[in-house]
Amino acid sequence: MPNENQKATLRDVLNYEPEKYINEEDMAILKSFTPKHFALIRKIMLPTVSDPDLPVEEFGKDAFLTGVDWTTMSADHVKAIMQGRMEAIKFILGGIIQMRMLANMKEESPYAEALRRKQNSTK
């Protein structure tokens, strides 16, 4: 266990590897996805009546609009619900976009990483 009074060296800072929430196994799974996988995730997570591919029989699957009796609510309440719906959609789409970005990341060889670190350290 390092001494708390021990100072970090430049080498410690340059070689620091932050902990990763998305580990190598997760990355391998994401890299195996195709655009069709992401389209399916989107359909499952965000079925919406504005999706032209959603059959009329499945309009009830819009998770944000089902079971809501709009006639009993004030305009302010309806506005708050719609704003919450938009925030939830942005959050879910943001996650799907992040998954696509991670899946499309190029792997860096150890040589390329060392070269990049060397170039960055001379700035």
Q: The whole model's pTM is what?
A: 0.61
Q: What is the C-alpha separation between 101 and 93, in angstroms, rounded?
A: 12
Pair of tokens at residue 86: 């938009």
Domain limits, the chain: 19-121
pLDDT digits (tens, 9 = 90+) for 94-110: 999 999 999 998 877 77
**pLDDT for the residue numbered 120:** 80
Q: What is the C-alpha separation between 107 and 16, in angstroms, rounded?
A: 19
Write out residues in the chain with pLDDT < 50, as ranges: none
